[in-house]
Amino acid sequence: MKYIILCGGMNSKEQKHFDKPRHLLEIKGEPIVARTIRLLRENGVEDIAISTDMPELFEGFGVHVIDSRHEEKHVISQFYESWLTAFIYFNCPVCFIFGDVVFSPEAIKTIVEKKTEDVEFFASAPPFPTTYKKRWAEPFAFKVWNYNHFNQAIRDTQELHLEYSAFKREPIAWELWQVIKRTPLNIIDYTNYTVINDYTCDIDEPEDIKNFQFI
């Protein structure tokens, strides 16, 4: 199975608050993306790549860098741009890992060891432990064995959004998972995925980096 770390570009909000992509922020001197690569390798994973539209910033981490600007995407309209376009097309088993997440060693171990014959989603869920610093759940990864199901679900999610306005917001990981599992739209079910509840979480604001100095 391929492990693809998603490290997309900086939007206008991020450019105002960060001087570099969040994936390159450091925890005790180690960039977040380098930490994820190290933890994957410690769990026996060797087929690792970074998918990014800023390839020049990620060449020094010892893994293959995919320039996502030139890869086939799951886009049903050439004018459609959303978070879903981060998932480049693969016709093989692949695990998509979100590159701005600070993972615990236990979280990466859980993702690597989880068996699935279809698609598995990994995220936090309430009630949260005291080590978790957000008040809401965050997504961490998709592990895809049935890539045909996953690829079709992305197209279906886009169509539901474009043609039927089925979601309250621009569809992101939660909406995609609802389509994959065929659960009711606009109602997030916190019981039908692999829950990772420790300090694992993403970076939204520059001050979030302080939440991980204890690890």
Domain enclosing residue 134, as ranges: 2-146+196-212
Amino acid 77: pLDDT? 52
Instruction: Copy the structure tokens of residue 183.
Output: 């659960």
> What domain count does the chain have?
1
**What residues form DSSP beta bridges with 97?**
5, 141
Distances (CA, A) of 176 to 20, 105, 195, 208: 28, 26, 17, 26
Please check whether residue 17 lies inside any domain of the structure: yes
Q: Is residue 98 part of a domain?
A: yes
Per-residue pLDDT of the chain (215 residues; tens, 9 = 90+): 999 999 986 555 555 567 888 999 999 999 999 999 999 999 999 999 999 989 999 999 999 999 988 877 666 554 455 678 788 889 999 999 999 999 999 999 999 999 999 999 999 999 999 999 999 999 999 999 999 999 999 989 988 888 778 888 888 899 999 999 999 887 888 889 999 999 999 998 888 999 998 88
Q: Distance (Å, rounded) from C-alpha 166 to C-alpha 183?
A: 13
Q: Does 188 reside within a domain?
A: no
Distance CA 150, CA 109 (A): 23
Residue 190 covered by a domain:
no
In a domain, 185, yes or no: no
- β-pairing, 2-6 vs 48-52, is parallel
* CATH code (residue 12): 3.90.550.10
Predicted pLDDT at 79: 47
The whole-angstrom separation of Cα 158 and Cα 160 is 5
The burial class, CB within 10 Å (0-12 / 13-18 / 19+), for 187 is exposed
Please give the backbone phi and psi of residue 88, each rounded to the nearest 5 degrees, phi first. -75, 160
Phi–psi pair at 111, nearest 5 degrees: -65, -45
So what's the pLDDT on residue 190? 85
Residue 77 lies in a domain: yes
Identify whether 62 is part of a domain: yes
- Report the first-to-last Cα separation within the chain, whole angstroms: 28
Question: Is 129 inside a domain boundary?
Answer: yes
**According to the model, what pLDDT value does residue 74 have?**
66
| Residue 31: strand pairing partners | 26
